[in-house]
Amino acid sequence: MAAFALSTKTWEIVNVDYAEQLEKATTIPDANIKPESLQIIKALSDRQIKTQNLWSADFIKDKGEGVVVLLHGPPGVGKTYTVGTKEDSIETQLTSWFALAQRWRAILLLDEADIFLERREHKDIARNGIVSAFLRKMEFFKGLLFLTTNRVGHIDEAFISRVHVIIGFEKLDPEKRKKIWKNFLDKLHGEQRGKIRVTPNCAQFLMGNEMSAMDWNGREIRNALQTAIALAEYDMRGSEYYHEGDEITVESDHFKKVMEMNRSFRDYMNSIKNNTEEKRAQMFYGRNDAFTQDGAATATAPSGTRHLP
């Protein structure tokens, strides 16, 4: 039978003999989103799934019946699908994705959707066509659409008035990083017990000030954990006492090696570009990572608004 593969976004022929009940994914704790923002997302999702005939405030039939949510912020802070860049193929793919999401009452997520959102310019006709095509499709979409970007300052003005909800993600602070570390360690302990062990001293080190001072986002924290585990496994396999199947022990020294490598690379990048990552984000991506929203992380965008949080 034919089935839609979510991992590749393609239709495939599958053998029903190998079909099985989908396991519910482990809930990922929300480490970097305000409760009021999360409540809005849950309300919109619940309405999309449970309501058969959604009311539209637009006077034009079939227009404005969907909901568009923009998630913006620095990379790796919890926002999260990439597409091609040819205008004709993109419009064809958009038509297919929007139709499937609408038919299945599914939530459609376009991650890193900058190619669709960027400000149009007179010289770039091809990209202008992509943005215009996306605006047309979005206008008549009847479902729930989430878009993420870390280049919020480059968004086309025509797009802002079409967004219903704008949710900003702030840069991680030390306490949020500790929470992310704890989430990853809990996941590792629950799924790899007896195979991989982080020593108590190492776990304490990960929650300490030295690690908190590392200006890492969630993706970098995940990568650091995976690299440290690889180092620990390599060290143990090099020991004459190692036997296949022995529990891998991860020590703080493994993380310190990863930290030193990361520091050296960042210092090198800063020396080349003569600026920190925060400054480069503000200069080139239209994003202020140092900005704190003081409880105003969620903004409802009424028709005609031009304000970004």
Check whether 23 has a pLDDT greater than 80.
no
Check whether 142 has a pLDDT greater than 70.
yes
Q: What residue ranges define each of the domains in the chain, with the CATH number in brackets?
A: 20-52+61-170+291-300 (3.40.50.300), 174-283 (1.10.8)
Mean pLDDT of 35-49: 67
Nearest to 144 by CA among 58, 50, 31, 25: 50
d(CA 149, CA 168): 10
Of 31-40, 76-85, 235-244, 255-264, where does mean pLDDT reach its minimum?
76-85
pLDDT, one tens digit per residue, over 282-296 is 665 566 766 665 544
Cβ atoms of 276 and 228 closer than 8 Å: no
Mean pLDDT of 230-243: 87
Q: How confident is the model at residue 25 (pLDDT cuts 50, 70, 90)?
A: low
Nearest to 43 by CA among 304, 218, 300, 306: 300
Mean pLDDT of the chain: 76
Most confidently modeled range among 21-25, 215-219, 304-308: 215-219
pLDDT, one tens digit per residue, over 109-139 is 888 887 788 777 777 777 788 888 888 888 8
In the prediction, which pLDDT does 140 show?
83
- Measured in degrees and rounded to the nearest 5, phi and psi for residue 145 equal -115, 125
Most confidently modeled range among 58-67, 117-126, 167-176, 195-204: 195-204
Which DSSP category does 153 fall into? G
pTM surpassing 0.75? no
